[in-house]
Amino acid sequence: QVQLVESGGGLVQAGGSLRLACAASGSISRLGGMGWHRQAPGKQREWVGTVTDGGDTNYADSVKDRFTISRDNTKNTVYLQMNSLKPEDTAVYYCNAAISTYRRSYWTEYWGQGTQVTVSS
């Protein structure tokens, strides 16, 4: 019913930049907070940052001052601008969102399938 699709991942050299996008589609009534997580091989998934429906952002200490989250409510899309990338940023990046649908008026957490980000040194 609802789908989140990430895009923009790829290979980049250390110090470079990437912009990820995550578009929500389906029978969306309300789109609440959206965020990003990442998971490196053999490691637990970690929280990267979030943006509320009002535009307030929060970030993990590991990405503060390097990553920026924004959203475009007209496109149901959240973005992750990643600057000064480091090899340790290499991971699969997942977006998530709190969404209510016309069928289900309560908030439901949805996740995308992830997009690979690889930073070479």
pLDDT per residue as tens digits for the range 60-94: 999 999 999 999 999 999 999 999 999 999 999 99
SS3 21: strand
Q: Which amino acid is at 14?
A: A
Report the C-alpha gap between 54 and 9 in whole angstroms.
Answer: 26
CB-CB contact of 39 with 45 (8 Å): yes
Tokens of 90: 């290499």
Predicted confidence at residue 1, as pLDDT, reads: 83
| Whether pLDDT at 25 is above 90 | yes
